[in-house]
Structure 1
Amino acid sequence: MEVGEGITDYSVENTMSSGEIDVVKSAFIFGGNASGKTNVIRAFQLLRQIVVDGTSSELELLPRYTFANESGDTNFKIHFTKNGNLYYYELNYDWDAIINECLTMNGVVIFKRTADEITMPPLIKDLKESLRVNQPLLFFAQTNNVPEAKEAYEWFAQDILMPSLINNNLRNQQLFRPLHTNPELKEKVLYFLRAADFNIKDIKTQEVIVPISSDPDKSEKVLLLHCEHEGPDGSRFVINYNVESIGTQIFLLLIMTILENQHNSKLFLIDEFDRSLHPKLVTILLRIFNEWNRTGTQLIATTHDTDILDAPLRTDQIWFVDKSYDGVSILDSAFDFNEQSIKDIKKNYEDGLYGADQIINDAMMKDILGISDREEDTRYGETV
């Protein structure tokens, strides 16, 4: 998310300072289907899961998501800021053990761990023997109230937001619980929906108790969400959230999440950002995350919509994912192609200059469908 050297376009609107580092407010990842775009989001999701959940015993295997299910180690390195402090965190692990782990704050080592040696924070230096081999030290240190570890842990636990834009079933409606508990937030969401030309006059929430499918003898509370609309004669009618259009579901979820966190610095990770949204709604969301963003929030999103490249963006906000012949995903920035202007990127990308494209073999498809070249030429009024 660091800015590209020498790029001055939209510096005020699309970039911000984080300590001594200048960063972009949003980044968009392009690539064909099955190219690996979603894996960028999954990587954050996996690292967050390991840090936030820890392990319950030495018998628990650490979660992994390796290329082609290979048996190699999993390695993460990440820089982030929290409350003005710059953190660096590294984690390297196998199925059943942490191999390397390190946390620094503003260049000072808070803890460091290898397979042979552990440098514990002074506050918990006597608890070294209590640390399990498969327990992240970041989780262990924050549990024991090490201030720097607590702050870093809070970034993973509270500041990474991944609103799911697909499969919004009954269970996922729990994401809308703030609308049930915060009337002020609900009014803001309704105001925004009216401004965006959605015919939603009210949002109704209701808690119901339903049996757990895996154990019918037990039950759980589930939140039901309904949207109230106005008919042509002024009458009101209610539609269940699940049967609203996909675009309405997505926009409602995004706007609620954005407004709930509008005064806090967050990292939004969104897969298929533009899914089923009108281009004008996509434009508004881009302005929210870039031009109107005053809180230090950042967005990393995957997309197929090349029209986003017509928006006021910088080359250092555009990324491409392409697969090698071995099936390995490679992530490149448009800035790495020495592109100084966003204007040429759309055409170059559509022409396949950066890779990250969907390569369709028409001849193979016609062959399996039994369509000959002569038949196709005749259909379009041509003769051979």
Structure 2
Amino acid sequence: MLIEFSAANFRSVRERQTLSLTKAKGDELLEKNTFQVKAANDFSLLRSAVLYGANASGKTNFFRALQIMKRVVVESASSQQRGDPLPVSSFLLSEKTKDKPSEFEAVFIVEGVRYQYGFSATTERIHEEWLLAYPRGRAQRWFGREWDGKREKYNWEFGGHLLGEKQVWQKSTRDNALFLSTAVQLNSHQLQPIYDWFKETLRMGDVGGWGLGYSATLCEKEDKDKILNFLKAADLGIEDVKVEANPFDPDSLPNDMPQGLKEQIAKEMKDKKILDIRTIHKTVEGKDVAFDIDEESDGTQRLFGFAGPWIDCLENGYVLFIDELHDSLHPKLVRFLVDLFNSGVSNPKNAQLVFTTHETSILSQDVFRRDQIWFCEKTADYSTELYPLTDFSPRKGRENLEISYLSGRYGAVPYVKSLINSFGIGAS
């Protein structure tokens, strides 16, 4: 479970910004939208959070910060080579920050233990890295490293609670790799659950979704009924899904494609299968009619692509971040997807969903608690600021959040200027 994530000096995020999934005061929607977890101390966490903001306010950059953190954890010790640049980018609109390291930190719970892990980095090296564990409520500093630019070496610190070949792992850690990742690669069983949380539990999606392949693959297995139940609950009129895996046919490539490119594609696709996905609908007379998935609407295709990963997250208690959930989806389908997380019935493993959207019809106290709603705004220096709705103390159960947001009460809305004078057109 995720408790909070923070980022600083990454792209448009200049000052440290933190998104928290800790339950605040208030007893609204307790059974649906919150859950308790024991980790030495009891924690009350949120099943979902939504982030609103104008275009170019930095919502995607904040999500990208977590995506980069995950990528560096998973890849720095295995895929990165010595000297390879790290995929970070500082806030470039200030001389004070452009050459400083970007910083990332996550607080989360794995197997009943709370961890606080983070690092800072430039493209050249990891500057700091730290891990604190709270197995009994009190902080245990398992390790820390900090780059000393004057001495051109790291200062290392290891706590007595971290077991294993610490000196071997330290010597094996490259400047552009994380100690956490290196130690796990060298068989640190104690750090493995933390690494696995980033690799397996934390899931990142975007406006493109996941494509159709994963859901289609599930339809070939015993999970097909789960996909069908998902689609039927969304009221798409789909009665069945047929999936066939066919060999790739080189003759299907366009005639005007260069022959060399054709041969290259044919070689790469030689042993691969092409999934033929067909949705089954009923005629008014009750007969089955098959449609190619490409004949379905963009929204239906996207929801089909969501079905498999959504079910996977709910069944395994994953933490899902997804950018622009509303894209190509009807407002009721957006609420349908959110409600699946905000329910102990459909979400018994306490999976968590964090998403951005411009869909304001779900900006309601019937859907979210006040502590589940966050805003993102561009400040005067063009940096990103993140803040919760609770900063404004909206009246419980009485304030219309959608109207208040669109009227500008909470900020995070675009300020649109008139173009009439810019085009030399007089007002009529």
- How would you bin the TM-score normalised by the shorter chain? 0.7 to 0.9
Partner of 1:96: 124
> CA RMSD for the aligned pairs?
2.6
Question: Normalising to structure 1: TM-score of the pair?
Answer: 0.87
Amino acid of the structure 2 residue aligned with 1:294: P
Query: Paired residue for 1:190?
Result: 228
Residue 155 of structure 1 aligns with which residue? Answer: 197
Matches within 5 A, 1:301-380: 301-310=355-364, 311-341=366-396, 343-362=399-418, 365-374=419-428
Q: Identify which range, 66-75 or 101-110, moves more after superposition.
A: 66-75
Judged with a 3 Å threshold, the aligned counterparts in structure 2 of structure 1 residues 208 and 328 are, in CA distance, closer, same or farther, namely: farther
Rate the CA distance shift 1:207–1:305 in 2: closer, same or farther, 3 A. same
* Gap change, CA 1:103 and 1:173, over 3 Å in 2: same
Say whether 1:255 aligns with 2:277.
Answer: no
Are the aligned partners of 1:101 and 1:114 in contact in 2 as well (CA < 8 Å)?
Answer: yes
Q: 1:231 to 1:347 in 2, by over 3 A?
A: closer
- 1:122 aligns to 2:174 (yes or no): no
Looking at structure 1, the residues matched to 249 and 197 of structure 2 have their Cα atoms a distance apart, in angstroms, of 34
Contact 1:315 1:340 in 2 (8 A): no
CA contact (8 A) 1:161 1:267 kept: yes
Task: Give unmatched runs, 5+ long, in structure 2.
Answer: 1-19, 148-153, 251-260
Query: What is the letter of the counterpart of residue 322 of structure 1?
Result: E
Name the SS of the counterpart of 2:181 in structure 1.
Answer: helix
How much has 1:86 moved relative to structure 2? 0.7
Q: Distance in 2 between matches of 1:7 and 1:179?
A: 40
Counterpart selection for 2:145 from 113, 129, 136: 113
Q: 2:314–2:341: 8 Å Cα contact kept in structure 1?
A: no
**CA contact under 8 A between 2:212 and 2:304: conserved in structure 1?**
no
C-alpha distance in 2 between matches for 1:44 and 1:229: 39
Structure-2 change in CA distance of 1:340 and 1:165 (3 Å): same
Q: Secondary structure at the match of 1:162?
A: strand
What amino acid is the match of 2:242? I
1:68 maps onto 2:92 in alignment: yes
State which of 169, 180, 200 in structure 2 corresponds to 1:138.
180
Which stretch of structure 1 is more off in the superposition, 289-298 or 240-249? 240-249
Deviations 1:285-338 (A, max 9, x none): 222111232211111000111111123311100001000122101001001223
Shift of 1:95: 1.2
Residues 210 and 89 (structure 1), Cα distance of their counterparts in 2 relative to 1, 3 Å cut: farther
User: Measured at CA, do residues 134 and 207 of structure 1 come closer, stay the same or move farther in structure 2, by a change above 3 Å?
Assistant: farther
Partner of 1:380: none
Aligned residue number for residue 36 of structure 2: 17
Instruction: Name the residue aligned to 2:57.
Output: 35
Q: Which residue does the alignment assign to 2:316?
A: 264
Contact 1:179/1:186, CA 8 A, preserved across alignment: yes
1: distance between equivalents of 2:180 and 2:101?
19
Deviation at 1:94, TM superposition (A): 1.3
Q: Deviations over 1:117-149 (max 9, x none)?
A: 223543122312222111111111111222231
Closer/same/farther in 2, CA of residues 130 and 339 from structure 1, 3 Å limit? same
Counterpart of 1:206 (choices 234, 239, 245) is 245
Matched, 1:80 2:108: yes
Query: What residue is the counterpart of 1:224 in the other structure?
Result: 275
Specify whether residues 149 and 22 from structure 1 end up closer, same or farther in structure 2 by C-alpha distance, changes over 3 A only: same
Contact 2:321 2:354 in 1 (8 A): yes
For these two proteins, the number of residue pairs brought into alignment is 368
Q: Is the 8 A contact 2:298 2:328 kept in 1?
A: yes
Compute the displacement of 1:278 (Å).
Answer: 2.2
Distance 2:265 2:316 in 1: 40
Task: Give, in whole Å, the separation in 2 of the partners of 1:105 and 1:286.
Answer: 31
Displacement of 1:231 after TM fit? 5.3
Q: In structure 2, what is the equivalent of residue 46 of structure 1?
A: 68
CA contact (8 A) 2:377 2:386 kept: yes
Q: Once structures 1 and 2 are overlaid, which stretch shifts more, 67-76 or 42-51?
A: 67-76
> Match of 2:237, as an amino acid?
N
2 CA distance for matches of 1:282 and 1:67? 33
Contact 1:4–1:335 under 8 Å retained in 2 = no
Aligned partners of 2:212, 2:232: CA distance in 1, in Å?
A: 21
Greater alpha carbon shift after TM alignment, 56-65 vs 279-288? 279-288
Higher helix share: 1
SS at match of 1:188: helix
In 1: Cα distance, 2:325 partner to 2:165 partner: 43
Aligned residue type for 2:357? T
TM-score of the aligned structures, taking structure 2 as reference length: 0.79
User: Any unmatched runs of 5+ in structure 1?
Assistant: 375-384
* 1:382 corresponding residue in structure 2: none
Query: Residues 81 and 167 (structure 1 numbering): CA distance in 2 closer, same or farther, change over 3 Å?
Result: closer
1:153–1:210 CA distance, 2 compared to 1 (3 A): farther
Contact 2:215–2:306 under 8 Å retained in 1: no
Tell me the distance in 2 between the aligned counterparts of 1:278 and 1:239. 21
Q: Find the aligned partners of 1:153 and 1:147 in 2 and give their Cα distance.
A: 10
* Amino acid aligned to 1:146: S
Identity %: 28
CA contact (8 A) 1:210 1:222 kept: no
Distance in 1, Cα, partners of 2:400 & 2:281: 45
**TM-superposition CA deviations, 1:45-102 (whole Å, max 9, x none):** 1111000111532121111133338332110111011111111101111112111101
